C-alpha cells in the first residue's frame, strides 16, 4: 500500500504568503461588495439592466471555483429578488454560469475585455432565454413575443452596456490586489496562490 504523506498541521507562513493571503481576502471582500452594490439598483424596479451578470463574470475571471460558486448564488438570489421569480431559479443558473466561466478562464481563455464581454453576452442571452421559457414560453402565453421584444431584449442590451462600467470598476480592484505572475502557467499559479 502506498503510504500517504502527511502534511504538518500548522505550517508557519512566510511574510510573502501572508501578504498574498491578505490581498486575496481584501479582493474577495471588495468583490462581494461590488456584487451587492450591483444588486441594489436592480431592486428599484422598472426596466433594468441585470448588473449582477457582468459583475459575476468579472469576479469569475480572477477567483477560484468555490468563490465563483458563492458569487453565483449571491448574484442569482439578487436576480430572483429583483425580478420576482421563484427563489433559487436564477441562483441555479448563475452557479452554473459562474462555474463554467471560471473553468473557461482557468483552462482555455486569457483574461481580456473581449472574452469577458463575449461571455457576459452569452450569459445574458441564456438568462433571457431561460426567463422567456419559464415565464411565458412554457405556458404558451398569448403575445409572448412582446415579452421578448419589450422587456428581455432591452434589458439584455442595457446589461451589455452596463458590462463596460462594471468591468472598469472591477479592473483596478483586480489589478491592485492580484499578485503579478509573468509565466506561461500564470493562471495555474495564481489559482494555487
**Cβ distance to other proteins smaller for residue 52 or 177:** 52
**Residue range at the interface with other proteins (CB under 8 A); choices 10-18, 110-118, 151-159, 172-180:** 151-159
Give ∠ CA 50-93-109 in degrees, rounded to 5.
85
Is residue 53 at the binding interface for other proteins, with CB under 8 A as the rule? Answer: no
H or E stretch covering 17: helix 15-42
Site for other proteins in 119-138 (CB under 8 A): 136
Q: Which of 30, 32, 89, 130 binds other proteins (CB under 8 A)?
A: 89
Which of 91, 97, 119, 163: binder of other proteins (CB under 8 A)? 91
Q: What is the DSSP letter of 65?
A: H
If binding is defined by CB under 8 A, does position 152 make contact with other proteins?
yes
Report d(CA 15, CA 153) in Å as an integer.
Answer: 50
Smaller CB distance to other proteins: residue 48 or 178? 48
Q: Report the alpha-carbon distance of residue 85 to residue 89 in Å, rounded.
A: 7
* Residue 104 CB contacts under 8 Å (≥ 6 apart), including other chains: 119
> Rounded to 5 degrees, what angle do the CA atoms 42, 45, 49 make?
45
Question: Judged by CB under 8 A, does residue 30 bind other proteins?
Answer: no
Distance of CA 179 to the CA centre of its chain: 20
Least distance CB 133 / other proteins (angstroms): 15
Q: Is 65 in the site for other proteins (CB under 8 A)?
A: yes
Phi first, then psi, for residue 142 (nearest 5°) are -60, 140
Query: Footprint of other proteins on this chain (CB under 8 A)?
Result: 39-48, 65-66, 69, 73, 76-77, 81-84, 86-89, 91-92, 95-96, 99, 103, 106-107, 136, 141-144, 146-147, 150-152, 155, 188
Amino acid at each position: 500500500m502506498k503510504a500517504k504523506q502527511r502534511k504538518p498541521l500548522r505550517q508557519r507562513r512566510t511574510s510573502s504568503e501572508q501578504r498574498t493571503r491578505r490581498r486575496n481576502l481584501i479582493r474577495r471582500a471588495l468583490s462581494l461588495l461590488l456584487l451587492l452594490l450591483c444588486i441594489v439598483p436592480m431592486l428599484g424596479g422598472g426596466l433594468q439592466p441585470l448588473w449582477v451578470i457582468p459583475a459575476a463574470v468579472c469576479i469569475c475571471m480572477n477567483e477560484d471555483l468555490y468563490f465563483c460558486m458563492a458569487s453565483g448564488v449571491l448574484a442569482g438570489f439578487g436576480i430572483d429578488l429583483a425580478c420576482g421569480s421563484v427563489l433559487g431559479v436564477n441562483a441555479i443558473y448563475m452557479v452554473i454560469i459562474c462555474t463554467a466561466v471560471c473553468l473557461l478562464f482557468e483552462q482555455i481563455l486569457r483574461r481580456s475585455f473581449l472574452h469577458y464581454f463575449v461571455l457576459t453576452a452569452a450569459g445574458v442571452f441564456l438568462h433571457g432565454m431561460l426567463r422567456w421559457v419559464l415565464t411565458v414560453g412554457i405556458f404558451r402565453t398569448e403575445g409572448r413575443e412582446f415579452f421578448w421584444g419589450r422587456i428581455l431584449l432591452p434589458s439584455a442590451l442595457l446589461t451589455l452596456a452596463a458590462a463596460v462600467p462594471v468591468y472598469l470598476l472591477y479592473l483596478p480592484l483586480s489589478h491592485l490586489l492580484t499578485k503579478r505572475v509573468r509565466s506561461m502557467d500564470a493562471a495555474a499559479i495564481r489559482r494555487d496562490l
